[in-house]
Amino acid sequence: MYKLIALDMDGTLLNSDKAISEENKQAIAKAREAGVTVVLASGRPLEGMQGKLDELNIHSDKDFVLFYNGSMVKNVGTNEIIHQQIIDGKAAKLVARKAKELGAYVHAFSQAHGLITNEKNPYTDIEANINGLNVTEINFESLEDDHPIIKAMMVAEPSKLTEVIAALPSEMREEFTVVQSAPFFLEFLNPASNKGIGVAAIAEYLGIQPEEVICMGDAENDHHMLKYAGLGIAMGNAMEETKQIADCITVSNDEHGVAKAIEKFVLNA
């Protein structure tokens, strides 16, 4: 029996209108009534997830949330942080220099300043609006080496970002966990951070085995948790590579794929 379900948000739980369908809400509520822990696992900051947590009534001291792609995991009710692995100003400056060299913009999430960028761009507004955040324009070279940074991002239009990814030095992939969370976002995390590590931290905290875990996602930043889970489910709208590593494929995020999977593997199992 499955005891823990971890759900990506954008492209998975949320439809194309960034909403949770009634079908998904009902399936999640029924799973929770049956004793299953349901966790939202997103690349977003917590501020960008809070409204959806409230919609799903995920707010007790038995509930957990995974944000910043697993860089942080906390108990929703008590605010206890059960996993945190971040980077620093020195690492953010390295990402910013390489982004400039490759012709990309750079964003980062600073514990002191929130969403920061060295130059506002069209994608700054997307990130700020989705998550309800203010943006601070800052010269990354002015950051202290030990300044706490949760994650850094290279940002560019999709075709340009594909070129950036191809040109990325292999040593950067060794120094960071590097994941593409959207067609225009390439994220650089602490090497001990990804969604799989974050979900594992919750499972271990609750005494749940990997084979008792379901994870659902649609993009590269979901791959670690899909591989970790006893049952990794890709959405019908997922990237082809995501579908290939998943154990099975549900229908798309616009066809209530989360609800269909919960009904099949949890409620009607």
Active site residues: 8
Longest CA–CA separation in the chain, Å: 56
Residue 182 φ/ψ region, left for φ over 0, alpha for ψ in the -120 to 50 degree band, beta for the rest: beta
Quickly list DSSP for 13-30.
Answer: TB-TTS-B-HHHHHHHHH
d(CA 137, CA 243): 38
Q: Determine contact, residues 6/31, Cβ cutoff 8 Å.
A: no
Residue 132 φ/ψ region, left for φ over 0, alpha for ψ in the -120 to 50 degree band, beta for the rest: left
Which ranges constitute the DSSP H helices of the chain? 22-33, 50-55, 89-102, 122-131, 158-167, 170-175, 195-206, 223-228, 240-245, 257-262
